[in-house]
Amino acid sequence: MKGDLNTPNQPDALDHIPLYDHHAHALFHEDLWRAAPIGGYFTEAYDPLILERFVQDTLFYRRSLRDLAELYGCDPHHEAVQAARLSRDYPQLCAELFRRANIGHLLIDDGFSPERLWSVTQSQARLPLPVRRVVRIETELQGLLPLHDSATALLDALEVQLREAGNTAAAFKSIIAYRTGLDLGHPSEAELERSFQRARANGGKLTEKHLLDAALWRGLRIAAELKLPVQFHTGYGDPDLDLRLANPLHLRGVIETPDLRELKVVLLHCYPFVREAGYLASVYGGVYLDLGLTIPYTSVAAMRASLQEALHLSPVTKLLISTDAQRTPELYWLAARWARRTIGTVMRQTVQDGDLSAAEAEWASERLLWSNAAELYAARY
């Protein structure tokens, strides 16, 4: 029946392989979902002019509108898609789209808009798959900042909190690329204390480099001890980020630190630094890369090119796919759909080029969608 979500689309060749979605965020509470304009889901911008005038002219938006019209069985126009989606029962739609996307495991970074999104516990109760938490280090630090009167006390409290959270978390995550960049320094005690005092005085978003660097070094050593991967936002993001400081090559100081050699570092998103990330994964044993957000937010050509560029040097077994979806269930479905389509196209090309045999391409597809992440984030409890 047209518009029935139980009627499957024409299956893609990789639909049978579940996606281990190792980096995503939670869904809106229903009242926020029903009030939110659809265009905001298809851009990282928050400039009103972009949201009101230009997002509708991106390739991602136009392609996705047709995909959603197919999903909902309606005309491929903004108003028709919006009406169709809002006519659905929200909890049922969320569960159904995760099933249709064949997402088999979900890791949620709950440091993004926690007051507006489901908690990890709510997500576990409402979604038809295992859900685990990723702990955002900077969010934990920010919450503790007003409670302590010295940098030493703050970092000691952060360590206690991270160790406790790490007992059940799937990973830690850093968004320091959004704050002061990926080139971490080693502040002196005096620099650190001055940075702490400025942060206490200024309030608001924490942007003090010395304090952020020291906190992240503390978090990285805890992660290494607990054998937890650490995700780093790299590359493309919203305008809070200075893209020049988000090149993953800046992380060589972390990667080459002797007592962190066993640490697993996951470079998220990477675009436009996909080649750089692939290089790092090819020469450092603990480095992995991810193409979430790059897929599906760019053009079809860019998605294919990014996956090909990642594979120029990176071992197949170190490349991950995530949705980086949040707020609305359609984004998980769109990301999973285009991840499989992109992998399928690129794998066919590797066979034609002679890089992989047909059997190896099937193996690689399964590794990218599931096994690489499943092994990296294997539950320790």
Alpha-carbon Rg for the chain, nearest whole angstrom, is 21
Mean pLDDT of 194-213: 94
pLDDT digits (tens, 9 = 90+) for 339-357: 999 999 999 999 999 999 9
Q: Is 324 exposed, middle or buried (0-12, 13-18, 19+ CB in 10 A)?
A: buried
On the question of pLDDT at 276 being above 50, the answer is yes
| Structural domain includes residue 11 | no
On the question of pLDDT at 204 being above 90, the answer is no
Nearest one of 208, 222, 211 to 179, comparing CA atoms: 208
Q: What is the CATH number of the domain that holds 348?
A: 3.20.20.140
| Structural domain includes residue 6 | no
pLDDT at position 7, please?
36
| Structural domain includes residue 60 | no
Nearest one of 378, 335, 367, 332 to 99, comparing CA atoms: 332
What is the dihedral angle through the alpha carbons of 181, 182, 186, 188, rounded to the nearest 10 degrees? 10
12 confidence band (pLDDT: 50, 70, 90): low
| Structural domain includes residue 360 | yes
HSE of 220, CA atoms in CB hemisphere, 13 A: 27
What is the dihedral angle through the alpha carbons of 335, 181, 45, 310, rounded to the nearest 10 degrees? -30
pLDDT digits (tens, 9 = 90+) for 41-86: 999 998 999 989 999 999 999 999 999 999 999 999 999 999 999 9
237 confidence band (pLDDT: 50, 70, 90): confident
Give me the domain span that covers residue 177.
20-28+89-376
On the question of pLDDT at 10 being above 70, the answer is no
On the question of pLDDT at 4 being above 50, the answer is no
Query: With b meaning 16 or more CB within 10 Å and e meaning fewer, what string describes 182-203?
Result: bbbeebeeebbbbbbeebbeee
| Structural domain includes residue 123 | yes
| Structural domain includes residue 107 | yes
Q: Which residue has the higher pLDDT, 261 or 375?
A: 375
Number of Cβ atoms within 10 Å of the Cβ of 99: 15
- Number of structural domains found in the chain: 1
Distances in whole angstroms, Cα of residue 353 to Cα of each of 121, 152, 200, 240, 310: 46, 56, 57, 41, 16
| Structural domain includes residue 55 | no
On the question of pLDDT at 381 being above 70, the answer is no
pLDDT above 70 covers a percentage of the chain that reads 96
pLDDT digits (tens, 9 = 90+) for 159-196: 999 999 999 999 999 999 999 999 999 999 999 999 99
Q: What is the distance of C-alpha 127 from the center of its chain?
A: 18
Query: Strand order in 319-320's β-sheet?
Result: 19-24, 103-109, 131-136, 171-174, 230-234, 265-269, 287-290, 319-320
Which ranges in the chain belong to alpha helices (H)?
A: 30-35, 48-49, 59-72, 78-86, 90-100, 120-126, 137-144, 151-166, 176-179, 189-202, 209-226, 252-255, 274-283, 294-297, 300-313, 329-353, 358-366, 372-376
| Structural domain includes residue 83 | no
The residue type of 125 is A
Residues 6+ apart with CB under 8 A from 71: 5, 9, 330, 333
On the question of pLDDT at 11 being above 60, the answer is no
pLDDT at position 379, please?
62
pLDDT digits (tens, 9 = 90+) for 301-317: 999 999 999 999 999 99
238 confidence band (pLDDT: 50, 70, 90): confident
